Amino acid sequence: MGVQNTNIILQGMDYETFVEQLKKDLFNDNGFVFNRILTFQQTMEFLGFSRAYLYRLIRKGEIPFKQRGSKKFFLREELEEWIAIGDSLQEHNVESLNDEF
């Protein structure tokens, strides 16, 4: 049984537009699938942090990173987990404050 053109609508787009948008979302300028390992610059962009703030987090040991020589690298998965843990800690702190009042 062959695949038929069914004109699927996804997120308000036809199939071809959806596939093109997905390619843009998944591939960077070099044609690589979203990097598992991020450079310092990519991490700044991913997190929306300034260079100085990211260096401060590294210096304080507050953000997970890897280092090879003078280059610092970040694992996307670790950053996502770090963000999730930060969110849950903030929620816990807000609940603790609410309990005090």
10-48 pLDDT, tens digit per residue, is 556 677 777 777 666 666 555 555 668 899 999 999 899
> Which pTM does this prediction carry?
0.56
Query: What CATH number labels 34-100?
Result: 1.10.10
User: DSSP states of 44-79 as a string?
Assistant: HHHHT--HHHHHHHHHTT-S--EEETTEEEEEHHHH
- Contact indicator for 58, 72 with CB cutoff of 8 Å: yes
Rounded Cα gap, residues 17 and 31, in angstroms: 18
pLDDT digits (tens, 9 = 90+) for 80-97: 999 988 866 555 444 544
